[in-house]
Amino acid sequence: MTLKIARRGMIDPFIVMDVMREANQLSENTKIVHLEVGQPSTPAPAKVIEAAKKLLDKDRLGYTDSLGLLQLRKRISKYYGEFYGVSVPLERMVITTGSSGAFLLAFASAFDPGDRVALTVPGYPAYRNILIALGIEPVIIETSVKERFQPTIKLLEDVGNIDGLIIASPSNPTGSMIDSERLRVLVEWCDENSVRMISDEIYHGINYVSPPTTVAKFSKSAIIINSFSKYFSMTGWRLGWMVTPQELIRPIECLAQNLFISPPTLSQYAAIASFNCINELERNVDNYRTNREILLEELPKLGFKKIAPVDGAFYIYVDVSNFTSDSTSFCQRMLQEANVAATPGVDFDPLNGKYFIRFSFAGAESDIREACKRLSAWSY
C-alpha cells in the first residue's frame, strides 16, 4: 500500500544544513574551519545564563500567554525607544519561537493560499519555502550588485500584482542594507499599492557602516520580525518577536494558540536579562567587525574580488564566476581539499547562485585567519 505524501512537504532542503552535516562528518578525522553556518560562536550573555539557572530551581515553567510573557513584551517595547527612538506599544508586540515561528504566523495571518508575495534573490531560502508550504506563491525579484541586492520600485513594478513583499536589511546572504530614505520609499509604495510588507530585521545591531532603521518608524501596517538568535547570541534558545499591525493581533494570537500554545518559557524569562548585556553583545559585534576587515583584506588577494557590500550581518557573498559556474562542486572541493566549509549560492538564489558562495564570519578571529591561510595554499 502506498500512502499519499502531501505536496506541502516537497520543498527544497536548506543546503547549508547539508554542508554542515558533511563538514561534521569530515571533522571526525580532520579539523574543519566552519565558515558555512550563520550563527554566533559566542554563548548567550552571562546574565541570561545566570537568570535561566536561577529560574530552573524555582519555577515550574508552565505555558505563558500565547502572545508571549508580558514582562518580555514590555521590555522589547521599551527597547524600540532605546535603540531606534521609535515608540511601539506593547499591545503590538508578539513573542515567537525564533523568527522562523514568526514567519509562519506572519504569512498565515496576512496571506491566503494563491496570494503572491515578492521576495528578492539572493535571499534567505526559508521565506520562499515556507510560502510554498502554505500554498502562497513566491514571486522572485532577481537582484544584482547594481541594486545592492535589494528591491527597487522599478523591479517591484515589473513583477505585476503582488499581495506582499518581504525585505531583509541587512540581508542574508549579502549583508547589504537598505538606507533609511530608500526604506521609506519602499514602505510608501507598499501602502499605495495595498501590499503588506514583511521586514526581517534579524541582523539589526550587527552593522558596520551606518545604523539600521526599523520599518516600525514608517509603517503601522507592516509586520516587523526580529530574533534573539543573532545580535543577542541566543540561537538555540529559539526566541524571536514580531511587531504586528493592530488588525492582525487577534488572528496571530489564535494561530499561535493553536500552532505553538506559547513560545519557550525558560528562554522568555531569561531573555529579559539580555537587554542589560549590551556591552557584552557589542564586544561580539567588535569581533565580527575584525573578522570582516580580515576577510575584506585577504579574500581579494586569493582571487575573490567581486564581493557584495557587507554593510551588516556576518556574511560575505562572493561572485566566484571567475573560478566556476558550479558553486556546489566548488564548495565541495574547498571542503574536501582545503578543509574550509562555505555555502554555495544556490541555497539563496536558484537563478544565479551557481556563480556565488557565502562565507560566514560569525566565528572566532583565529578561525578566520586559519581559513585564509588554508585558502591561500589551495587552488581550484
Ligand X SMILES: Cc1ncc(COP(=O)(O)O)c(C=O)c1O
Compose the 8-47 pattern: x for residues touching ligand X by CB under 6 A, - for all others.
Answer: ------------------------------x---------
Nearer to ligand X, 240 or 345 (CB): 240
Nearer to ligand X, 236 or 300 (CB): 236
Nearer to ligand X, 72 or 375 (CB): 72
Residue closest to 237 by CA, chosen among 55, 25, 3, 35:
55
Residue 307 touches ligand X, criterion: CB under 6 A: no
Nearer to ligand X, 16 or 318 (CB): 16
The residues in 47-66 that bind ligand X, with binding defined as CB under 6 A, are none
**Binding residues for ligand X, total number by CB under 6 A:** 13
The one among 115, 163, 200, 349 contacting ligand X by CB under 6 A: 200
CA distance 95 to 151: 28
- Give the nearest residue (CB) to ligand X: 98
Q: Are 44 and 377 in contact (CB under 8 A)?
A: no
Kindly state the smallest distance separating residue 98's Cβ from ligand X, in Å.
3
- Give 199-259 as a DSSP string: EE-TTTT-BSSS----GGGT-SSSEEEEESSSTT--GGG--EEEE--GGGHHHHHHHHHHH
Residue 202 touches ligand X, criterion: CB under 6 A: yes
Give the interface segment with ligand X, choosing from 63-71, 95-103, 336-344, 369-377 (CB under 6 A): 95-103
Residue closest to 245 by CA, chosen among 215, 271, 274, 268:
215
Strand partners for 215: none
Q: How far is CA 204 from CA 50, 82, 153, 163, 210, in A?
A: 25, 14, 23, 25, 11
Residue 124 touches ligand X, criterion: CB under 6 A: yes
The one among 45, 98, 175, 264 contacting ligand X by CB under 6 A: 98
The one among 100, 257, 265, 324 contacting ligand X by CB under 6 A: 100
Residue 227 touches ligand X, criterion: CB under 6 A: yes
Compose the 153-192 pattern: x for residues touching ligand X by CB under 6 A, - for all others.
Answer: ---------------x---x--------------------
CA distance 2 to 53: 48
Give the interface segment with ligand X, choosing from 98-106, 138-146, 178-186, 297-305 (CB under 6 A): 98-106
Rg (CA), the chain: 21
Nearer to ligand X, 99 or 207 (CB): 99
Four-residue CA torsion sign, 239, 123, 5, 255: positive
Please name the residue that has the C-alpha cell 527544497. 12
Residues 6+ apart with CB under 8 A from 342: 19, 35, 36, 331, 334, 335, 357, 358, 359, 360
Write out the residues near ligand X by the rule CB under 6 A. Answer: 38, 98-100, 124, 168, 172, 200, 202, 227, 229, 235, 240
